[in-house]
């Protein structure tokens, strides 16, 4: 996902930035399954990150861009693993 390309149309100097610390929001996972590990590796691959290196990653974009990243990942998973999402979560609304 080309974050820089998405942000080019905005004047970034006028944005208020929210500092989100991953470590404050989530606890480390316990008893990770093989499926969860595979999905995590697919996500790292989609983000074009080297999973063996240690980096502090900064995501620069609006919450909508973060949402777009999640949608792109879900679509990638649907393509790579057909049938992985069997129902529409929002269909009851």
Asked whether the beta carbons of 75 and 43 are under 8 A apart, the reply is no
Q: Which two tokens stand for residue 35?
A: 């499926």
From first to last of its 93 residues, the chain has per-residue pLDDT tens of: 555 555 556 666 666 777 777 788 888 889 999 988 888 888 888 888 887 777 788 877 778 888 888 888 888 888 888 877 776 656 554
Residues 70, 75, 79, 81, CA torsion sign: positive
Instruction: Confirm whether pTM is higher than 0.75.
Output: no
Please state, in angstroms and as integers, the Cα–Cα distance from residue 13 to each residue in 2, 8, 16, 30, 62, following that order.
20, 12, 8, 40, 13
Residue 43: count other Cβ atoms within 10 Å of its Cβ: 16
């Amino acid at each position: 996902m080309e974050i820089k390309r998405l942000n080019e149309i905005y004047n970034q100097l006028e944005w208020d930035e929210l500092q989100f610390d991953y470590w404050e929001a989530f606890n480390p996972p316990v008893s990770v399954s093989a499926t969860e590990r595979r999905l995590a590796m697919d996500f790292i691959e989609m983000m074009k990150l080297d999973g063996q290196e240690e980096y502090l990653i900064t995501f620069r974009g609006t919450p909508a861009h973060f949402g777009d990243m999640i949608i792109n990942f879900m679509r990638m998973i649907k393509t790579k693993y057909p049938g992985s999402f069997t129902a529409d979560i929002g269909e009851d609304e």
